[in-house]
Amino acid sequence: MQAELAPITAKINSIYPLPQAELQLLVDSLERVTYPKNQLIICTTKVENHLYFIAKGIARAYCHGENQQVTFWFGQETDIILSYHSYINQQPGYENIELLENGILYRISDQALQALYQNHINLANWGRKFVEQELIKTEERLINRQFKSASERYQELLAQSPSLLKRVPLKHIASYLGVTQVTLSRIRAER
């Protein structure tokens, strides 16, 4: 289990380096869970009370649009799964997050995380830095969607996460890019 957690602890420290004792408190609060492919980890019908770290597998976040699901995020090993609306407002979130592969996740309850934040300033700073980084990523996705072509967004996705194209069905990649599968096929052929 320690080897399985090593990439996650490295990710945690890349967000905000923690003293070993506080890192260990966080790690000791994590619970290992496994879920099958297609499992909804977060759904729009319920309040989610956990933050998840992906140890193995890949996930996607999507909302329901007119006659389709619109994918807006992919997560893979070491990424964090969280519904911000659910976490902050204690209401059901806007999104569904499902596993696209069998997954091994580590989770911590909101209650345990809040207790760590209350009692350990470095962990509270870690939480703040995590949210700041996620805000920047959200802003970048919004700006890219508004000002870059689908071809440019595809090239960027390919450069940043080449393994996604091998692990994620093309219909989800197309949805993420805001194009049809036919258009995605054309973009890929032009490459």
The CATH number assigned to the domain with range 2-110 reads 2.60.120.10
pLDDT at 49: 93
Rounded to two decimals, what is the model's pTM?
A: 0.93
Rounded distance between C-alpha atoms, residue 129 and residue 109, angstroms: 19
DSSP labels, 65-99: ETTEEEEEEEE-TT-EE--HHHHHHSS--S-EEEE
Map 115-167 to HEC letters. HHHHHCHHHHHHHHHHHHHHHHHHHHHHHHHHHCCHHHHHHHHHHHCCCHHHH
Rounded distance between C-alpha atoms, residue 173 and residue 176, angstroms: 5
**pLDDT, tens only, 86-124:** 988 999 999 999 999 999 999 999 999 999 999 999 999
pLDDT at 73: 93
pLDDT at 87: 87
**Which residues of the chain fall below pLDDT 50?**
none
pLDDT at 80: 96
pLDDT at 3: 87
pLDDT at 1: 65
